[in-house]
Structure 1
Amino acid sequence: MRAVGEEAIQTCPQCGAEIRADRRFTTWCTACDWNVDPVDTGERIGRLERLRRRLAQRHGEKLLVSMTAMSSTASESGAGGRRRSERDVFGALSYALALAVHGVTLAVTVSGLWLLIAGWGGFLMVAGLVLLALAWTLRPRLVRLPEDGIVLRRDDAPELYALIDEVARVVGTRGVDAVVIDAEINAGVSTLGLRGRQLIVGLPLWEVLTPQQRIALLGHEFGRFVNGDTKHGLVVGTASRSLALWHHYFAPIPHPTTWLHMLSNLAILPPRLLFQALLAALDLLMLRASQRGEYLADTVAARVGSTDAVVGLMDRLLVTESVEITLRREVNSRRMGRPGRSGAKDTGDGLWEELAARMDEIPESEYERRRRVGARRGHSVDTTHPPTHLRRRHLLQGASLPASVRTDDDRDRRIAAELAAARAKVAREVIRDGLDGE
């Protein structure tokens, strides 16, 4: 191997082709895929997770063919996509199963109240209290604003809210009631209370995107709402949590040592298998509705922010692991008193700029490697989304769409000014507590 600057040149040990690679990233062969996925992804997973991945893999390619056929016969408008998704049989079945789960929780509540009243002063009161305590843990829980998060209201960030509202109007829905800023490498729109919505902005992701990619991100997240993503909805999402709790409550005693323990494990096996089957069924129904909604949301995002912006966004999402690693290195360096390229040490000054600059140095060869890794692993990383390489293919095989919502330098500066205090606070917290608050 010989090096020229940051470039390393060597011969592929598998096919003999010349490899020109950036020494800061994985060296691999584009001709034969040697070392394209050097990380051992072997992991111990449960039976339910194996089932999820197998079903997701089987459904992914089939869904892409279906979505491609749909795109070739009719243009996906926001309202039309919503109507088709609402009629989707899998979405309807997931709601029916979710309502049945909530019906069981209601029945447990009513039974507990009846036993409490009918058995007043007797032993039945104890059974009633137990059922009421169980129903309380199983109750659907509304999403509330985080107590320790940074929440921006409309008066705090009018320019940001104006951009959010513009994107929402183009998508065909309404905006949000609150914007939450945190240090997660993620972003999304979710329910808030009964009828509200919140936009969660993870700064490590937001800061490594271009302004137009941020618009595409907003378009995608709002597109999920209008295209029937049931997984994050109030009814289905809370039902999934209730089923998971039922499954947890019937967990067997680990390493049973007495005949009583073994009999207990044998007795809870049938209800545990039942709840496992119901959870798998709800997962399958949500998977089909959610993955279809992701493809439609990508189309909506392309219409809002442009096809190029969505494809660029997907590339950034491929390297979120690099975002985390880079951020951890910078945080550790500043904790130890070594300044980064920005010259800052133990403060958050320049942290986000440093992160964005380092992410801009990722070469195209690394993005291509991540795409091929995704194609190899399929759904092994995330069963709730179609694989990124399939989503990317779905967008690129259609006509390239221009942006309906655009930004400019002045607007970007105004939004940056509104986020300045939150950016500084989150940066200081990340330096002080670490990325995961450790």
Structure 2
Amino acid sequence: MRTVEEISRSCPECGAEIRADGRYVAWCAVCDWNVDPETPHQQQDRMERVRRALSSRHGEKLLAEVTAGASLRARRDASSLLAFAIALAVHGVTLALVLGGVWLLVRGWGGVGMVPGLLLLAVAWPLRPRGVRLPEADPVLHRDDAPELYALVDEVAGVVGTRGVDEVRVDAKVNASVMARGVRGRRLLTLGLPLWEILTPQQRIALLGHELAHFSNGDTRQGLVVSTAYRSLTTWHYYFTPTAEPSALEMLVNLLCIVPRLFLQGVLTLLDHLTLRAAQRAEYLADREAAGAASTEAAVGLMDRLLVTDSAAVALRREVSRAALAGPRGARTIEAEPQEIWERLRAHMASIPEYEYERQRRVGVRRGHSVDATHPPTHLRRTCLLVGPSAPAAVVTDDERQLRIAVELAGARVTVARRIVRDGFVG
């Protein structure tokens, strides 16, 4: 690991002394000079910008309500019911395309009249309700493979008022998620190993508590009907995206697509308006449940880790570059000892100074940093956790239990580390 270079200088604005790690931005904690020297990344997609703006607005309003003593407990309201009705209408259009295609196909059977029916069915196929396709290469841990991990998940699930999961997958993202798959609603927990590796034991419990709480906190957007309708609408919107640098014929097609594209964009925006408040409430409530499971201190620590996940991504990309520069022999050496990647990652994250966390918190206030467009800004989530008395940990683990879980994850750690080196980090 590189030697930390300490720098010392005077602030050009207020003259206060600045001491900083040379790997990170030098800034003044007194007057905020240079606290955010980078130009904020501008999303190219207009829908994404709208969603982030709505997310920040709803997040601030909900935080104000919580601070004033309002309950976060989820409830069905007119917006949720209207969103459900729109989702049913979306699926109804897809069903109409299928029925129309079948009718035309039967009516014109054996002749040219079959063509319109085939076209309608071809259009309906990609718009059908479907779940998220999961990468087949991700390691999957079943209960028999990881009984200690599943026992911890079950214990945390009991604290947040739900049941455990049916399957645990591990991937190379600095993230974690849950979902219900299929008509039977089989529960899936996906653990991003880079995130898991940089958390303390209690922060890992907070992460599990947050994710599992989504099964019981009434997030409309997570429901099967609304989530699949949202994906169908996004697919429609993609199909009507104008062609860049079009030919004369493509320019005509672009003009014909303007009205349906604007209509779909309007429906997507409306669905965002109707569901984002419930989604924001669900995130705040999941954070509260995480604090109840792991302690407020651990949940706040998880928020701070989320602020510096970019640093973890940089460290993993450095591993990829290290392997590439070393050539085939070096790559084989790294693949033969993949556990060293996780050791270096943990050492790197442990070396991040506290003033970099503080800078990221202040930058988050300015930019509205969030995990994605559906989450409230991270600084608001952190503030919400600190409102009211601190919660003690309901679930704790000792070193022996952590060691047993680490042994159960050993195979996944090797697989994911080798994939990062071989395919490059894209999480």
TM norm structure 1: 0.90
| CA positional deviation for 1:261 | 4.7
Q: 1:94: Cα distance to partner?
A: 2.1
CA contact (8 A) 2:370 2:376 kept: no
Asked if the contact 2:205/2:395 (under 8 Å) is kept, the reply is yes
For 2:314 and 2:134, locate their aligned partners in 1 and report how far apart those are by CA, in whole Å.
28
Aligned-partner SS, 1:188: strand
Equivalent-residue separation in structure 2 for 1:417 and 1:254 (angstroms)? 51
Residue 145 of structure 1 contacts residue 192 of structure 1 at CA under 8 Å; is this kept in 2?
Answer: no
2:174 pairs with 1:175:
no
1 CA distance for matches of 2:401 and 2:270? 46
Of the candidates 379, 395, 402, which is equivalent to residue 405 of structure 1?
A: 395
Structure 1 residues 388-407: Cα deviation after superposition (integer angstroms, max 9, x where no partner) = 11111111121100011111
Give me the whole-angstrom Cα distance separating, in 2, the residues matched to 1:108 and 1:86.
34
Q: How does 1:276-425 map to 2 (within 5 A)?
A: 276-337=265-326, 345-346=334-335, 347-378=337-368, 382-425=372-415
Determine the C-alpha separation between the residues in 2 that align with 1:208 and 1:380: 19
1:244 match: 234
SS of the residue corresponding to residue 350 of structure 1 reads helix
Q: Does structure 1 residue 115 correspond to structure 2 residue 114?
A: no
Matched, 1:41 2:31: no
CA deviation after TM superposition for structure 1 residue 420, in Å: 1.1
CA deviation map 1:379-435 (0-9, x unaligned): 687331111111111111211000111111111111111111211222222222221
Partner Cα separation in structure 1 for residue 369 and residue 116 of structure 2: 44
1:149 aligns with: 138
- 1:434 and 1:396 map into 2 onto residues whose CA distance is 38
Q: 1:148 to 1:44 in 2, by over 3 A?
A: closer
Quick one: structure 1 residues 381 and 309, their matched pair in 2 at CA, closer, same or farther if it must change by over 3 Å?
Answer: closer
Shift of residue 345 of structure 1? 4.3
Q: Indicate how the Cα distance of structure 1 residues 126 and 90 shifts in structure 2: closer, same or farther if over 3 A, else same.
A: same
Q: Distance in 2 between matches of 1:174 and 1:210?
A: 24
Name the structure 2 match of 1:341: none
Q: Distance in 2 between matches of 1:88 and 1:225?
A: 19
**What is the CA–CA distance in structure 1 between the aligned matches of 2:387 and 2:9, rounded to whole Å?**
35
Q: 1:178 offset after TM fit, Å?
A: 0.8
In structure 1, how many angstroms separate the alpha carbons of the residues matched to 2:402 and 2:356? 29
Asked if structure 2 preserves the Cα contact closer than 8 Å seen for 1:337 and 1:345, the reply is no
The answer to whether the Cα contact below 8 Å between 2:157 and 2:163 also exists between their aligned partners in 1 is yes
Tell me the distance in 1 between the aligned counterparts of 2:369 and 2:58.
10
SS of the residue corresponding to residue 273 of structure 2 reads helix
Contact 1:56/1:379 (8 A) holds in 2: no
Aligned to 1:30: 29
SS at structure 1 position matched to 2:409: helix
Q: Number of residue pairs matched?
A: 418
Give the letter aligned to residue 17 of structure 2: E
**Aligned-residue RMSD, C-alpha:** 2.2
Q: Which runs of 5+ in 2 are unaligned?
A: 328-332
Tell me the amino acid that sits aligned with residue 142 of structure 1: G
* Matches of 2:110 and 2:193, distance apart in 1: 56
**1:422–1:5 Cα change, 3 Å:** closer
Task: Give the TM-score normalised by the residue count of structure 2.
Answer: 0.92
Identity rate of aligned residues, in percent? 60
